[in-house]
Structure formats: structure tokens, C-alpha cells
């Protein structure tokens, strides 16, 4: 059996949104019982205003036929309420359904503002400053790496603990598995060399370029560090310009200055590295 | 002089900084906000976990692929309902085209076997109502479920089912009228 379920243009049959059924029932030549019965399905799904509901109750109380029809509609409504039983859970997680890996994320409050921390099955995959950036901007970036972010504070506990210790001045190195995702060998080398710069030291972009065997590639080194997904843990704040000025930083130079100050490195009034700093 | 709200000569508008309400939610946020409702919808439409899982997964995949092209101000909830509805309706159509004779057999909620006044208890009746809902034409079923179980406005239903608000309302009402004609008498028997 085929059913034609697309209703024809029966505007007259349907109470127009906003038009009162009370007024409609008062129109000359209109049978109030028709209006009442037509309004009953809408009554079940919250279409009627309070005065309209009152009118309907009043009308059905005084009309045997409408009363019976209304009664059966109400029972259909009750049955529908009762069949709204508990829904089972999906068999697949969203990440699995999409063929993606999960990145579980949580938050940490730091002296440089809130930070979003995410970890995949392989390791830490994002440290995102939220001081000047929306959470969803950071999440969207994680998604571009083929990961599906899910909020789960407990999963990032090791990372947030260690970061908390760093900001409290109690930790100089990090001991966390890392997931850089798909990055170029060059970027991997840059991040690797940067990771080996110890707490309290600063290096120039040019020196990193030299250390990875690409002398002269200091600009490319700067670009690669600009895309560092794990600031603080991969300490790109320890890389400065050859003239002793700070250079650009992913969370803004204000954060870079604070991180370096935390490590005992200070910039003077002219924003140059203060004399005596351990620059190579 | 032309002035953009919030922007001055030396201050860029907030949007340029990527802050403020102009940042569209990430896909994962949209799923976190509405994913459960979409699964519930798929379950209400099919009343069968395998079919609900299929619709849910296909909806997520389609949404994931299309998300980048979506306007950031879009009503994400209605957008997801629309993808789920389309998936459901085209799936039913496909099944009916491939084998019209199984149309009645594909229904997942078994039709109650006995129809006798004395033996009909409340549980039988609920099964029967569930069954009748799954036998409604797909669009009416979808409209009724959105209105009844998902608190959707008719505007949202119209978007979700790619139809007008008038037709959305008519679909809901038509579904309820059908259910009533089917059950009016029998519902009476089990009245406490």
C-alpha cells in the first residue's frame, strides 16, 4: 500500500499560527465543534495558548460528541508520553563512527590565563592558550589534524599536573608522551631541537637552524615554531631573535615575557634581552 | 563617515582578532551539544538499535564532511535534524523501491498478534502505539517525533523536513488524527 503523506495545501483546514481558535469558532457559519476537533491534535503537542485550552475544555465539557473525541485524543497523548522510554546508547563512539582518533581535552588555569590541554591515544597533542582565543577555535584546529576532541578533564590530569608544577616553579622538564600528528620532518627536527633547550636558557632561531643542519633557515625555524602545538612543553618561548629581542610568540609576546621571567630571564626597557642572560 | 561597530582607527574590530561571538562552534562542540538528541531521534524514528546506529553514523559522517561549508550562524540543531531526517526518509524510500512487498515486514516493532478486549493490557497497548507510529508515513512520523519528543518548533521542523511551517504542522496533526482513529476505541478498554 502506498500512502500519499504530503498534505495538500489545506491552509483552511489548519488553524493558522497565531490565529485564535476562539475567534474562529465565533465566525458566522462555522460549527464550533469542527473548530474544537481540529484543534485537538494541536492541543496534544502544545500548539494552543492558555485561553484556547480553556475554551477547548469549556466546549468539550458542554458537548458530548466533542468530549468523547477529546478523551480519545488525550489517551493517545498519554500513550505517546508513555512510549518515550529510555533511549539506548549509540553502539559506536562519535570518533569511531567518523573514523577519527579521539583527543580528550581539559582546562588548566595558569598565570598566563586559561589553557586548553588535549591528549590523544599517543600522547599530548595540544596546549592552547585561551587568553586571546576562543575555545572552539582551538578545538577546530585539533579537528583539522584528524582528531575528534571530547571534553574529559581526568584524561589530561598528568599533563595539567606537570604544567601546574612548571608554573609554580617546581618543575623544569616535562615527562609526557607526545603526539605531534602528521608534521614535516623539518618541523619535527625544529621541535625536537627546541625541546632540548634547557630551562633558563635562550637560543636564537639561527642557532636552532644550525643545530638541525639547516644553517640560514632561521625564518623557516620561526614559522615552524609558530605552529608549535605544545607551547611550554616544547619550550619555543626560549627561542629569541639574534638581536636579543623576543620575537613573535604563539600566545603573544606578553606570555613569552612572563614565561622567560619565570625562568629567570628578563627583558630590559628596550625589550632587549638583559645583559648576562644565557644566550647562544 | 563609515564606522564599523567596535572598530576605531587604531583598534581592529573584535572579529579580526578571532574573539567574541563570531567564532563558530567547532564540529566537536556541535556534536557534544546535539549528538545525543540526534541519536534519540534516530531511535524514535526506527525503534531499532541497528537502524538507529546506521542513521546516526551516516548523519555524523555527512555533517562532518559538510561542516566546513556551513554558515557559522546556522541553527546547528535543525541542520543535524535535517540531515538525519533526509537519511531516514531516503533510506525508507530505497527499501520500498528495492522490495515493495517487504514494506510491511521491515517494520521493527512487531505488530501485536491478539486483539481482544479482555487480554489487552497497558503494555500491549504501548507496543501497539509504538508500532503504529513506525507505520506512519516517514514525514508524518518524523514531524510527530520532533514535535512530541524533541520540543521542536514548527519552524525547526520545517527546516528539518525541508518543507513549509504549514506543512510541518499539518504533518504532525495528520499523524495524531491517524493514531486516534486507530486507537480511540481500544484505548477506552484499558482506561483505569
pLDDT tens digits, residue range B140-169?
A: 999 999 999 999 999 999 999 999 999 999
Q: Which residues of A are catalytic?
A: 236
Domain assignment present for residue B12? The answer is no
Sole residue written with cell 612543553:
A233
Residue A170 belongs to domain with CATH number: 3.30.160.70
CA torsion through residues A205, A206, A209, A210, sign: negative
The cell for A175 is 615527562
CA distance A208 to chain B (A): 30
The lowest-confidence range among A14-28, B11-25, B83-97, B135-149 is: B11-25
Residue A231 belongs to domain with CATH number: 1.10.10.10
Range of the domain at A36: 21-78
Phi, psi (deg, nearest 5) at residue A180:
-80, -10
Residue B178 belongs to domain with CATH number: 1.20.140.160
Domain assignment present for residue A89? The answer is no
Range of the domain at B36: 24-189
> Which of A201, A193, A197, A204 lies closest to A244 in space, CA to CA?
A204
pLDDT of residue A178: 95
Looking at the fold, whether A193 and A172 belong to one and the same domain comes out as: no
Checking ipTM against 0.90, whether it exceeds it is: no
Best interface-test mutation with B: which of A11, A12, A44, A45 has the largest number of B CBs within 10 A?
A: A45
Instruction: Kindly identify which residue of chain B lies nearest to residue A73, measuring between CA atoms.
Output: B180
Domain assignment present for residue A108? The answer is yes
Looking at the fold, whether A40 and A72 belong to one and the same domain comes out as: yes
Looking at the fold, whether A139 and A49 belong to one and the same domain comes out as: no
CB within 8 Å: A76 and B187: yes
B13 CB contacts (<8 Å, ≥6 apart)?
A: B4, B5, B6, B7
Check whether B107 has a pLDDT greater than 90.
no
Ordered strands of the A113-120 beta sheet: A124-129, A113-120, A101-110, A147-151
> Which of B165, B172, B108 lies closest to B145 in space, CA to CA?
B172
Domain assignment present for residue B95? The answer is yes
Looking at the fold, whether A110 and A129 belong to one and the same domain comes out as: yes
How distant, in Å, are the alpha carbons of A109, A228, B60 from that of A99? 32, 25, 11
Interatomic CA distance for residues B63 and A199, integer angstroms: 45
Chain centroid, CA A7 distance in Å = 40
Degrees to nearest 5, angle at CA A88 with A84 and A92 = 145
CA distance A57 to chain B (A): 18
pLDDT in tens, A137-160: 999 999 999 999 999 999 999 999
User: What are the chain A neighbours of B130 within 8 Å (beta carbons)?
Assistant: 83
CA torsion through residues B176, B177, B178, B181, sign: positive
Q: Mean of the per-residue pLDDT values for chain B?
A: 79
Instruction: Kindly identify which residue of chain A lies nearest to residue B133, measuring between CA atoms.
Output: A80
Chain centroid, CA B24 distance in Å = 23
Domain assignment present for residue A278? The answer is yes
Q: Mean of the per-residue pLDDT values for chain A?
A: 88
pLDDT bucket at A84, cuts 50 / 70 / 90: confident
In A184-256 the beta strands, taken as DSSP E runs, fall at 203-204, 239-240
pLDDT in tens, B50-97: 999 999 999 999 999 999 888 877 889 999 999 999 999 998 888 877
Interatomic CA distance for residues B52 and A68, integer angstroms: 37
Span A181-208, average pLDDT = 94
pLDDT of residue B65: 92
> Can you name the residues that pair with A151 across neighbouring β-strands?
A105
A13, A91, A137 ranked by CB distance to B23: nearest: A137
Span A133-137, average pLDDT = 93
Domain assignment present for residue B183? The answer is yes
The cell for A43 is 492541543
Check whether A165 has a pLDDT greater than 90.
yes
How much of chain B, in percent, has pLDDT values that exceed 90?
A: 52
Number of domains in chain B: 1
Looking at the fold, whether A187 and A280 belong to one and the same domain comes out as: yes
pLDDT of residue B62: 96
Alpha helices in B136-164 (DSSP H): 138-149, 154-160
The cell for B44 is 524514535
Instruction: Kindly identify which residue of chain B lies nearest to residue A9, measuring between CA atoms.
Output: B167
Angle at which helices B27-46 and B138-149 pack, to 10 degrees?
120
Check whether B8 has a pLDDT greater than 60.
no
Helices and strands of chain A, counted as H and E runs: 11, 6
Span A33-44, average pLDDT = 94
Number of domains in chain A: 3
Domain assignment present for residue A145? The answer is yes
Amino acid at each position: 500500500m502506498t500512502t500519499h503523506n504530503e498534505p495538500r495545501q489545506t491552509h483552511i483546514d489548519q488553524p493558522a499560527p497565531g490565529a485564535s481558535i476562539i475567534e474562529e469558532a465565533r465566525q458566522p457559519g462555522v460549527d464550533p465543534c469542527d473548530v474544537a476537533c481540529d484543534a485537538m491534535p494541536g492541543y496534544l503537542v502544545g500548539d494552543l495558548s492558555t485561553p484556547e485550552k480553556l475554551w477547548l475544555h469549556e466546549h468539550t465539557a458542554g458537548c458530548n460528541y466533542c468530549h468523547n473525541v477529546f478523551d480519545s485524543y488525550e489517551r493517545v497523548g498519554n500513550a505517546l508520553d508513555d512510549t518515550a522510554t529510555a533511549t539506548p546508547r549509540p553502539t559506536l563512539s562519535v570518533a569511531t563512527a567518523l573514523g577519527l582518533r579521539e583527543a580528550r581535552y581539559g582546562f588548566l588555569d595558569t598565570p598566563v590565563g586559561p589553557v586548553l590541554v588535549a591528549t590523544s591515544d599517543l600522547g599530548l597533542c595540544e596546549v592552547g592558550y585561551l587568553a586571546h582565543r576562543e575555545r572552539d577555535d582551538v578545538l577546530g584546529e585539533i579537528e583539522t589534524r584528524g582528531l575528534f576532541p571530547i571534553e574529559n578533564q581526568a584524561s589530561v590530569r598528568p599533563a595539567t599536573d606537570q604544567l601546574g608544577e612548571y608554573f609554580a616553579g617546581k618543575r623544569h622538564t616535562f615527562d609526557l608522551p607526545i603526539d605531534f600528528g602528521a608534521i614535516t620532518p623539518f618541523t619535527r627536527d625544529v621541535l625536537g631541537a627546541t625541546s632540548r633547550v634547557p630551562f633558563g636558557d635562550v637560543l636564537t632561531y639561527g642557532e636552532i637552524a644550525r643545530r638541525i643542519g639547516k644553517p640560514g633557515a632561521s625564518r623557516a625555524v620561526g614559522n615552524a615554531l609558530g605552529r608549535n602545538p605544545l607551547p611550554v612543553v616544547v619550550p619555543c618561548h626560549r627561542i629569541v631573535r639574534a638581536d636579543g629581542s623576543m620575537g613573535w610568540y604563539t600566545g603573544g609576546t606578553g606570555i613569552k615575557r612572563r614565561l622567560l621571567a619565570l625562568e629567570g630571564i628578563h627583558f630590559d626597557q628596550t625589550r632587549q634581552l638583559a645583559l648576562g642572560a644565557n644566550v647562544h | 563617515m563609515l564606522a564599523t561597530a567596535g572598530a576605531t582607527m587604531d583598534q581592529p574590530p573584535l572579529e579580526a582578532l578571532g574573539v567574541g561571538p563570531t567564532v563558530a562552534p567547532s564540529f566537536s562542540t556541535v556534536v557534544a551539544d546535539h549528538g545525543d538528541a540526534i541519536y534519540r531521534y534516530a531511535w524514535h524514528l526506527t525503534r531499532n538499535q541497528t537502524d538507529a546506529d546506521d542513521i546516526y553514523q551516516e548523519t555524523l559522517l555527512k555533517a562532518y564532511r559538510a561542516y566546513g561549508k556551513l554558515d557559522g550562524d546556522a541553527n546547528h540543531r535543525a541542520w543535524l535534524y535535517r540531515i538525519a531526517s533526509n537519511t531516514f526518509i531516503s533510506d525508507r524510500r530505497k527499501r520500498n523501491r528495492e522490495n515493495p512487498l517487504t514494506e510491511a515486514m521491515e517494520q521493527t516493532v512487531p505488530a501485536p498478534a491478539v486483539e481482544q478486549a479482555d487480554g489487552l493490557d497497558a503494555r500491549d497497548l504501548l507496543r501497539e502505539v509504538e508500532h503504529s507510529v513506525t507505520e506512519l508515513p516517514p514525514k508524518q512520523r518524523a514531524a510527530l517525533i520532533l514535535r512530541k519528543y524533541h520540543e521542536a518548533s514548527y519552524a525547526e521542523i520545517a527546516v528539518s523536513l525541508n518543507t513549509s511551517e504549514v506543512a510541518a504542522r499539518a504533518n504532525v496533526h495528520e499523524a495524531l488524527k491517524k493514531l486516534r482513529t486507530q486507537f480511540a476505541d481500544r484505548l477506552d478498554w484499558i482506561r483505569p
